[in-house]
Chains A and B, each alone.
Chain A
């Protein structure tokens, strides 16, 4: 918890939180504009959710990947690794500090955006963002341990050029996409072939695989 507490303190004193908050307002503006243009006066929930997912591609990079990547790259992580603590505790501590912020920003953004679009958020959609945000944060952490220097950029690239495109593919390969499962859990998928339960399991499995990669890698990183 000490690592989490210090990560929160650093986040509160840094710029990332403000940048994240500004990014989180974008879906609200998008939903309000779409609703204003629509004849029904409502923004399409699926489109607003897709925009929030786009934002969710950036937040883990901004908070998780940069936090872990910078510590490894700047070698400030040596302060932690020279203490009598296991290495995995650094990852867990950082995730405990950053994931709730990602939850808060994405769910608040979604709720306000969908309200601005003339509709109401569902519990399923909020649960989808909780699960998706967690899994994407774990992926960001793993990428940061694999390529600390380019952690933030690679995380955004992964989200925008791998996960999001994969999620709209018709074949079974889309099951590798967090965003696809998220839409299913939120009941906002274009075709309702899969159950929300299987989608939730899909998110958990993908997150677990990346967690294993992150934990394996963090044991081997040398500062």
Chain B
């Protein structure tokens, strides 16, 4: 049985496309929605949460339309992408209110349990106003899980959180998955999704571009030449040293550095370190312009077209 069924589902915000003609079925487990910013991940999650309705086509959750049928939302837990909450309330008050509205039998007890699960018991009586980003994310997660939903929709739950909070949130999501919950988690960062699940749906420009195992996507990404931008005091010396390397596809000398295109990023980074030490170069900046999914997705879409 499919938990979520999208049938040629499209959503426009005026002239702006949210999702376009998406047909997709979600059976269960943990699914990562992966895509660059503005790809349509949040729109798809909002459609599942019943916050918006499709402009065309349909989307059902547990065989019901979540926008029109409020009862199905009892089985859904939603943590939005945005940070804003009711800052005047304490974490316990906020989660209790949400559990109460979701129909939890003992809202306060449910809220206390949820806050304990996300490691927020010690801050339960503090107002949300003074919370860090990580604490806010954990509080949002608590509001989503307090009523023990069957389907969890987590929109960018790891954005902006510190490494410790990240590990705790990832552990919590994994524990929920082990407990049998169906979880949809979105991110624009591949390694965040990899930490949570191997099953992903790749979204780009409002369309489902690919779905399946994350390692298949990783292979595709690795085929894409990786660009590294180096700013250093003697770019020509560095370029000459790298020119003979097999993994280097192209080198472009720029005013303050050089742009390297490589097929093996790890090897290239190692070699860069070796050359820097050997030639006593001063590197002031090292960046990867490709370190975003947008470029990779452009590459994947162009490859699919060709």
Contacts and interface: CB of A to CB of B under 8 A. Distances in A.
Contacts of A84: 70-74, 101-103
Interface in B61-103: 70-74, 76, 78, 80, 82, 84-86, 88-89, 93, 97-98, 100-103
Interface in A67-105: 74-76, 78-86
Contacts of B86: 6, 10, 76, 79
B137 to A, nearest CB: 14
A9 B89 contact: yes
A38 interface: no
Contacts of A3: 101
Interface residues of B, number: 28
Nearest to A82: B78
Nearest to A11: B88
Contact of A85 (B88, B89, B101, B143): B101
A209 interface: no
B275 to A, nearest CB: 49
A9 B50 CA distance: 27
A84 B150 CA distance: 14
Contacts, number: 66
A170 interface: no
Interface string B45-68: 010011110000000000000000
B73 A74 contact: no
Contacts of A85: 70, 101
Contact of B101 (A13, A14, A75, A83): A83
Given A2-B97, A84-B70, A76 B85 contact: yes
Given A82-B50, A82-B51, A10 B80 contact: no
Given A2-B97, A2-B101, A75-B80, A82 B85 contact: no
Contact of B82 (A2, A13, A75, A81): A75
A145 to B, nearest CB: 15
B158 to A, nearest CB: 19
Contacts of A2: 97, 100-101
Given A84-B74, A85-B101, A9 B85 contact: no
Shortest 5 CB-CB contacts between residues of A and residues of B:
A83-B101, A82-B78, A13-B88, A84-B73, A84-B74
